[in-house]
Structure formats: structure tokens, C-alpha cells
A = this chain, B = another copy of it.
């Protein structure tokens, strides 16, 4: 493989200093015409590509936004990225994406890598492991170094920065209100363990709705699943958990599930057990996924407006990058969710 030639190698070949090579490549008046021509010819000969980042240490404006997301095979995050892209392109910014794969270490590595001159600021949704470990030092360090962060969806109170969230609590409350108003008296909740903030808030919305309707909160109707298990590939395990829930609670007539996978699986398990959706059991999910509208029956969902979240996050970040005065005047923007009624509810 042909090797890249470096500034240092050019300097050595021509017996001049690195600084001279660098200046000659930038056509500096400090360097003689003769030397400039020699350096530039040599660089051209060897296809030398100046490291723009090195050369622009002065202002370090890259016009690039770094997005760190927990996983890529997820319609919600894809839509957020599309929203970020839309605004970024309008305002002359580029976007690059790093993946944490729900790992704390990978989140840190990605941030380190991108913060080293590749980007001007971050848009981030936290990994599950970070939320579990509650170790946020990498965010604080980045912000302290003057690089702004906008968090979306999975955010934490501990970090002072701009945030964009969906109204998880209200959205969940509205969904359960709908089920109760549709005649459900025993609404079960399928949710995640509490360390993921969105799961916790959606659980609280469920509890609040029951309280408002003077319905008893029954702990046996709340199924808290371990979000570390990849149920997409362990669908059997998920089905077993949900089947167990139905079998232990024969009076369930409504399901609120905090994501698409749980909701679709609940519908399938219900059908298999001989229940009709929506006549016997009504189901609402919380998602922007594509499957909801294509499933049979189609799934009623609380839509998160993922693309709008991305647009808002990009706007907050670019505004901050372009207005130096805004120091620490942090905003949390709440995107209103929307209950989309389809066939899984009456």
C-alpha cells in the first residue's frame, strides 16, 4: 500500500524545518519563493494532503456536528439524525455519526475521537450503560473545554447543557387515559428497569393516569423488563415474559408498552392466547417505529416526532455555536408527543 507522506518526511527530504514546510504549503510570505516552489512541487509529487485540522488549530471551526447515538438499527434514531441533517445542511454544517452501542466505554472513545478537532459540538443520546453507571465525567470535561453538547431523549439532570426531550410523562399519561376512557379497567404496563430515564417517566405517566381515574395500582400488572437483554434476537424470552403476565392476570384488558417491540409482541402473544385485539385487549405503544402502521392489527402509538427532535437539537447547537454570549443559558425543549390511534384500540 502506498504510504501517505507527512510534513515531517517532506521536511527531512528537503532538509528544512517542519514549520517551513507548513508555511510554504500555506504560501506564507515568510518563506522564499524558491523554497515555496520546491516544497509545493514535492508535496504535489507525493500527493501530500495537508491536515486541515492541524493547519486550522487557530480557530478550529469545523462546521461539523458530531452525533453520538446508542444504536443504529433503530428507526427513532435514524429519524432524529435525518432531522439534525436537515437543519445542519440548511445552516451550512456537516454531520458525522458515532455509535456507542449502548456502551459507556464506546461513548467515551467516540467523544474523545470527535472532540479532537473533527467537530464543533455534540448532539448525544446517552447509552444505557452510562445511565446505569451514572458516570458523566466525559460530558462535563467536554463542556468545560468549551465544546457544547445538546442531549436528546435519554438525558440526565446532572449535566448542565441544552436538552431536547419528548414529554414522556404526559405522553404515557395520555395513552393510559385513552385506554381507560375506552373502557379498560385493568391496564398492564410493559416497561424497562428504571435506570433509563424515558422508561421511568413513562412508568410515572401510567401511575398518574390510574390515580386520576381512581384505579388501583397493582404491582402485578407492571412488567419491568431487563433492557440489557436484546429482545430483538431473544424474542422467545420476551414472549415468555409477556405470556406469563397474561396468564397470571386473566383480567387484563389493556396494555401500555413503552416501546414498539414490547407492544407488537404483546399483541402477538394476546392473539396466540385467543384474545382479540382490540375487542378483548387494547394495546398502545410508545414509538416512532415503522412497524406500528404496518402490523396487523396496526398499532396505536404515542408518536415522539423524532425528526422534529433532531431539528430542534441541531438548532439549539448551531445557535449556541454561533452566539458566544449564550454562555450557560441552557434550555430544555420539550417536544409534545401525539397519540396516533390505529386498529389496536377501540
Complex formed: what's the CA distance from A81 to B99 in Å? 10
Given A117-B53, A294-B291, the answer on whether A96 and B110 have CB atoms closer than 8 Å is yes
| Interface flags, A89-112, vs B, CB<8A=1, else 0 | 100001111110100001001100
Are B7 and A144 touching (Cβ within 8 A)? no
Complex formed: what's the CA distance from A181 to B279 in Å? 42
Given A291-B291, A295-B294, the answer on whether A144 and B64 have CB atoms closer than 8 Å is no
Among B52, B99, B296, contact of A97 (Cβ-Cβ < 8 Å): B99
- Tell me which residues across on chain B come within 8 A of A49, comparing CB atoms: 115-116, 145
Are A1 and B327 touching (Cβ within 8 A)? yes
- Tell me which residues across on chain B come within 8 A of A19, comparing CB atoms: 18-19
Interface size of A in residues (CB-CB distance below 8 Å): 65
Distance in Å: Cβ of A319 to nearest Cβ of chain B:
11
Residue of B nearest to A60 (CB): B4
Question: Does A308 count as interface, using CB distance less than 8 angstroms?
Answer: no
> Which of A72-80, A168-176, A182-190, A240-248 makes up part of the contact surface?
A72-80
Are B6 and A60 touching (Cβ within 8 A)? yes
Distance in Å: Cβ of A53 to nearest Cβ of chain B:
5
Complex formed: what's the CA distance from A47 to B145 in Å? 6
Complex formed: what's the CA distance from A126 to B311 in Å? 26
Question: Does A16 count as interface, using CB distance less than 8 angstroms?
Answer: no
- Tell me which residues across on chain B come within 8 A of A264, comparing CB atoms: 294
> Given contacts A2-B146, A47-B141, A49-B116, could you give 5 more A-B pairs where the C-beta distance is less than 8 Å?
A3-B324, A54-B117, A74-B78, A96-B97, A296-B296
